[in-house]
A and B are shown apart, each in its own frame.
Chain A
Amino acid sequence: MTKMLTGQEVARGQQLMAALQRGCNAVLLGQTDLVDLCVIALCARGHVLLEGLPGLGKTELVKALGRLLGLTFRRVQFTPDLLPGDITGGAMLQEKAGERQFVFRPGPLFANVVLADEINRSSPKTQSALLEAMQERSVTVLGETHALPLPFFVLATQNPIELEGTYPLPEAQLDRFLFKIDVPGVNADVMTKILISRRRGEPPMQDAALTRGELDELFAVVDAVFLPHAVANYIARLVAATDPAGAQSPASVRHGVRFAASPRAAIAIGEASRAAALLAGRPNVDFADVQRVTLPALAHRLVVQHRAIVNGVQARDLVQAVLTEVPAVAPLPEAVR
């Protein structure tokens, strides 16, 4: 019989996640939801795509995460002329002991935390170089596959307004990201705090919040969070409801979605839900955890109809409709309440 996490184990996992939360919140003021989702994604060992206007702190957040995790961190500024070899690394001819041979020189992907800044500015060819790294956690150069250091996270940012000279990420690429998070703006109170506590915009100095061992411990606890069958069924129904041909799909989905989410989306939601449950101090996933992570995990995986886009329908609206229409539990008859 499967054993559920004990209360101490849950508390320990929650404590470790809270350390990450605190560190991120110290860097990025007034963005607790964003920080929580990032922490959840990291604990679920998923990649995150942050989309927002310049100056909202996306890069600072990623840099802070890299520091707090105490792992190797690399930043790659994606530009149109960036080549795949520039990020994966390549073989270089070296002379060693009088002999010339190709030696693999790892690129910036060979780090635990990789910041892909403005990822949509690079060419599709370079973007595709990330596919294997993100999914397989390995890089193949000249027929040789090189494993990436674990854990491996890609935290990418993109700017939604400067479309000239950009290359929108293909669906396959987007599907690799666990979350796509829209970074919201901040209000005046938060900006006041920023003005007072930041000089020249520099974040506070921080040490690593977790050691490598603690991070592994955290991952183990997240993996041990129990996903009940009823909740898994709910996730499956949510994902299935994004199918425009599905009988149970909401009308907005039937009319607005071109391609539905893949099973990878269901897996992503399940993994993220486990981390969300631990963050909430639960040894098991609840329906509320699923509802919390569904929007960032599902919205970027839907391909919206052009007609719907023209009508102003966004993917997140469709996901919201799915969340509204699909009940977590089969409703009770009207006769009882």
Chain B
Amino acid sequence: MRQMVFPGDEVAEGRVRLGGGVYRDGDKVYSSLIGLLDKKPNYVRVIPITGKYIPKVGDYIIGQVVEQLYSNWDIDLNSPYVGILSSDDFYRRLDPYSTELLEVMPIGTLVYARVREVTPTRKIYLTMRERVARILRGGRVVEITPTKIPRVIGKKMSMINMIRKETGTTIKVGQNGRVWIKGESGKVDIVVKALQKIEREAHLPGLTDSIKDMIIEEREKI
């Protein structure tokens, strides 16, 4: 069980490498967040348990087109920063001069994309030139606390694969706290309930098993 720490708590001393959620003051290292302490012999960080999504390079996100300017789409990321998707980063070749980008992806379109680059001024460039990236058509989106997404995925994707298998739905999980589900409407309801349960009980051990029991129970009711 990891220890819970609060802003200002001392978490390490001396020569250690710092991860996120900590800061150094003199010789000592303190937590800057409410979170769980992850401490190794020469590395320390605090895993946040609340807070907004801040894009990182390599994250897969579920975004929504909110604006189109020049040859870019602006993508809402459920974050303080807006994502930019250039027509060059679309999954197929587009000629930005002869195509109307809003006909390819109108405002409101949901996309599953990867964060390609984060500049020091926090411009967020996305890319869909990825095998798994695509436009999400139909389905349903739920938003949960972004810090609880790792729990939705589970160790080696155990949780998410179990939910997929037990409900027969298609699911995409974005690091920005959005989960997209497509399938039979009753089954989708079950997944939504399961996600809400994960969000509430993210701190409890043995969650995959209890979620599995819940899904089986709910499936009986249909």
- Do A and B make up one complex? no
Measured CB to CB, the residues of A under 8 A from B are: none
Which residues of B are interface residues toward A (Cβ below 8 A)? none
